[in-house]
Each structure stands twice: as structure tokens, then as C-alpha cells.
């Protein structure tokens, strides 16, 4: 018996791996929602749906977090969004291929909050390292593995 279908949610505004996500999702027949607060070109494919939310803080995040559940995959580098989605049971993968899990999300959130506090006190921080081809490759592998694992768990 197959449980509900797998859905992919992409936090798309600053996502550098949208094209890669489309290809992996198409190979697995996964419905994909590309969520942003501005118009964005997406492939003409019945499995890919563009969702444009109003501009404003966390509106795209809220749209995704309200829908993400066990058996879904979320692509985002946004740690608070990842935290919400992990708590809802979804698999969350950053564009560099890093998986946010129940075991890792607490540390990721603490690190993010610490860096935010340091910046608010005027501390200069280095920011994230540049996105690399290795990150793109790690993302492709992580997304493919997530879909395979969910299919083996009975999600369609």
C-alpha cells in the first residue's frame, strides 16, 4: 500500500539549485512547488507549480511550513524554516547538500542565532562560503537519496 505522494517544496528566492531539483524531481515523478515572493520562470511541466506569495518577512516560509509533512522534501538554506519543517517530519536539504535532521537542527539554529547576535553587536562575520561545484554535486546526491529513501518507506 502506497502512502501519499512525495512533494518537493523549494524555497526559491535565493536557491542556486532549482534546475538540479527540477531534474531530480522529474526523474522520480515528484510534484514540485517553487515558492517565492516574485515571478520566477519555471519549466513547463505539469509536475512543477510556481507559487508566488505576497512580499513580506517569512510569508514564503509560512506557506511551505504549513504544508510540509512526513514524506515531503524541502530545499532551503533558511535555518528557522528548516527547523519548522523538520519538526513537521519533512526531510530538509540545504542547497549545499547538507541535510537538516532532528539531530542537527538544534545546533544549526543555535549557530545561526549566535551569528545574528554577533552581527547585531557590530561584529564582522565572514558569512557563508561561496557556493561551489562540489556543493551542487552534494545537493544532487542528497536529493536523489532522500527520494529513494522515501519511496522505500512507502511514499509515492
- pLDDT given for residue 66 in this prediction: 97
Q: DSSP letter at 142?
A: H
* pLDDT tens-digit series, residues 9-56: 999 988 999 999 999 999 999 999 999 999 999 999 999 999 999 988
Q: DSSP letter at 100?
A: E
Nearest of 88, 84, 101, 82 to residue 145 by alpha carbon:
101
Q: Which residue has the cell 561545484?
A: 133
Antiparallel, parallel or unpaired: β 91-93 and 7-11: unpaired
pLDDT of residue 151 exceeding 80: yes
pTM for the full predicted model: 0.87
- Please name each of the domains of the chain with its CATH number: 7-152 (3.40.50)
Amino acid at each position: 500500500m502506497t502512502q501519499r505522494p512525495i512533494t518537493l517544496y523549494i524555497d526559491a528566492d535565493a536557491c542556486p539549485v532549482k534546475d538540479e531539483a527540477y531534474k531530480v524531481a522529474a526523474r522520480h515523478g515528484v510534484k514540485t512547488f517553487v515558492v517565492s515572493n516574485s515571478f520566477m520562470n519555471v519549466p513547463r511541466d505539469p509536475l512543477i507549480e510556481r507559487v508566488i506569495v505576497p512580499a513580506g518577512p517569512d510569508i514564503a516560509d509560512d506557506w511551505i511550513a504549513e504544508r510540509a509533512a512526513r514524506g515531503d522534501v524541502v530545499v532551503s538554506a533558511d535555518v528557522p524554516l528548516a527547523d519548522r519543517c523538520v519538526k513537521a517530519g519533512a526531510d530538509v536539504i540545504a542547497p549545499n547538500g547538507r541535510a537538516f535532521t532532528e539531530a542537527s537542527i538544534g545546533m544549526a539554529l543555535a549557530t545561526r542565532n549566535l551569528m545574528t547576535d554577533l552581527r547585531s553587536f557590530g561584529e564582522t562575520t565572514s558569512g557563508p562560503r561561496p557556493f561551489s561545484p562540489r556543493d551542487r554535486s552534494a545537493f544532487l546526491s542528497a536529493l536523489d537519496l532522500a527520494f529513494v529513501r522515501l519511496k522505500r518507506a512507502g511514499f509515492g
